[in-house]
Amino acid sequence: MKEIIPIERVEQRILLIRGQKVMLDRDLARLYGIGTRDLNKAVSRNLDRFPSDFMFQLTKSEYDNLKFQFGTSRLKSQIATSSWGGTRKTPRVFTEQGIAMLSSVLRSQRAIQMNILIMRAFVKLRTLLATHKELAQKFKELESRVDTHDTEIQAICKVIKRMLVVEQKPRKKIGFVV
């Protein structure tokens, strides 16, 4: 199956908020090829399918933090703005389970394909994080082994130095004694 968009573009849209990997409603709407307003309407009609661990609305401070991280130019394109210049409301964000639930709410063929792609991106990200954790653990083990090696090497060097120091006995004088 040919992918609609590169998986890397989806991965770039996954954010870490409240300790969870999530995607903004605006990014999801773009991927699904619908308006953010239409996506949120569909979700609002099916709120019982989206508990707080599937979807939540950002607080003002979380939204401001996102603006600070990404700059206002990117987020202006991410968040709907009113004609008066401010945002109408803070965006909703969806966890991996919430995105999976969107497939039951949005039934277009593109939505199905995009859900598959997004799920693959989440799995790839999870695999990368697991790999990094394994590498960090192995590095920590190696570091502790090297620390013990250092003390062992120092002890060996002390023994070798002691062996190299030869006791100097007084020499007998060679020759005639007068």
**Residue 9 scores a pLDDT above 50:** yes
> Average pLDDT for residues 129-146, to the nearest whole number?
76
Q: Look at 50-59, 72-81, 159-168 and tell me which has the smallest mean pLDDT.
A: 72-81
| Structural domain containing residue 127 | 7-133
> Average pLDDT for residues 114-129, to the nearest whole number?
83
Number of domains observed in the structure of the chain: 1
* pLDDT of the residue at 80: 46
Does 72 reside within a domain?
yes
Percent of the chain with pLDDT over 70: 82
91 or 77: whose pLDDT is higher?
91
Does 145 reside within a domain?
no
pLDDT tens readout for residues 38-74: 999 999 999 999 999 999 999 988 888 887 776 654 5
Does 166 reside within a domain?
no
Print burial letters for 104-124: b (CB count within 10 Å at least 16), e (below 16).
Answer: eebeeeebebbbebbeebbee
**Residue 113 scores a pLDDT above 60:** yes
Percent of the chain with pLDDT over 90: 17
Does 25 reside within a domain?
yes
Overall pTM > 0.85: no
Does 163 reside within a domain?
no
Q: What is the 3-state secondary structure (H, E, C) of the chain?
A: CCCCCCHHHHHHCCEEECCEEEEEHHHHHHHHCCCHHHHHHHHHHCHHHCCCCCEEECCHHHHHHHHHHHHHHHHHHHCCECCCCCECCCCEEEEHHHHHHHHHHCCCHHHHHHHHHHHHHHHHHHHHHHHHHHHHHHHHHHHHHHHHHHHHHHHHHHHHHHHHCCCCCCCCCCCCCC
CA distances from 145 to 15, 136, 158, 175 (A): 36, 14, 20, 58
Report residue 87's pLDDT band, with 50, 70 and 90 as the boundaries.
low
Does 164 reside within a domain?
no
**Residue 96 scores a pLDDT above 60:** yes
Contact 11, 21 (CB under 8 A): no
Report residue 92's pLDDT band, with 50, 70 and 90 as the boundaries.
very high
CA distances from 72 to 34, 61, 69, 76, 77 (A): 23, 14, 9, 6, 9
SS3 94: strand
Does 168 reside within a domain?
no
* pLDDT of the residue at 71: 62
